[in-house]
Amino acid sequence: MIETIHYGWWFGLAFLMLAIVAISAFDFLLWLGIAGVITGIISLVWPDMDWKIQLAYFSVFSLITLILWWKFWRNPVVTDKPNLNQRGAHYVGRLFTTHEAIVNGVGKIHVDDTMWKVRCDDCEAGTKIKVVGVEGTILLAELT
């Protein structure tokens, strides 16, 4: 059966992949579908082509289309607010006062309406610190 592969198989494969793209989030299948169309066109032009060569063409065109997608069309969203959903990143560079003493490098600070865990050098409650980074939900700070 595999030795009877012809252009119809490739067009069918391409249609199946494009249908999956239409109903799901597997966008990369679009590019494999395009590779299937290209392979189908080549096997339509050269109908005596061996199935192994057709499969090699499909593999090569799949790699090429996926690489082109990765380099040119997979644009990340550019925004003027890159830290929009990274709440802790908004606090980097700001000065705060410790809410409690920082002991063994860990304490808490009051930021707006929330208590944040902070990692900093040991200090007493009421000390001014500057947030220099974020590690998950822990603010990294240094004494000012």
Q: Are residues 100 and 61 in the same domain?
A: no
The number of residues making up the chain comes to 144
Same-domain pairing of 93 and 127:
yes
Confidence check: pLDDT of 6 > 80: no
Residue for token digits 């067009």? 11
Q: What is the pLDDT of residue 88?
A: 84
pLDDT level of residue 3 (50, 70, 90 thresholds): low
pLDDT at position 60, please? 95
In a domain, 81, yes or no: no
Q: Which domain holds residue 112?
A: 87-143
High-pLDDT (> 70) share of the chain, %: 94
Residues 43 and 10 in one domain: yes
pTM of the model: 0.49
One domain, residues 137 and 93: yes
| Counted domains in the chain | 2
Q: What is the mean pLDDT of residues 32-54?
A: 90
- 20 near 31, Cβ under 8 Å? no
> Would residue 31 count as lying in a domain?
yes
CA 138 to each of CA 88, 94, 97, 107, 119: distance values in angstroms, whole numbers, following the listed order: 8, 15, 16, 10, 7
Q: Is residue 103 part of a domain?
A: yes
User: What is the reported pLDDT for 74?
Assistant: 67
What integer pLDDT is reported at residue 123 of this predicted model?
93
Say whether both 13 and 61 belong to one domain: yes
pLDDT band at residue 2 using 50, 70 and 90 as cut-offs: low
Mean pLDDT, the chain, whole residue set: 87
